[in-house]
Amino acid sequence: MKVEILGPGCVKCQTLAGNVERAVKELELDCEITKVTDIEEIIKRGIMMTPALIVDGSVKAVGKVTSVGEIKSLLSEPS
């Protein structure tokens, strides 16, 4: 599973990254977590508000800090 956090590195982006790491650890998942901070790359992906959360290429959340519980639900969804 690949999880991407898109954002310039602001406080909200850092909080989302921490929530993702905590959710992955609590679920004991083997995930690749990547942070995309390049604004041009973020825009190229059609993201206009940050932070954004992408799981296996699918945009799951945009413009908000997703909670650990919400992330756990998203990561547990069947593909």
| Catalytic (active-site) positions | 10, 13
Tell me the C-alpha distance between 78 and 61, whole Å: 17
Largest CA distance in the chain: 33
User: Which among 18, 29, 14, 11 is positioned nearest to 68, based on CA atoms?
Assistant: 18
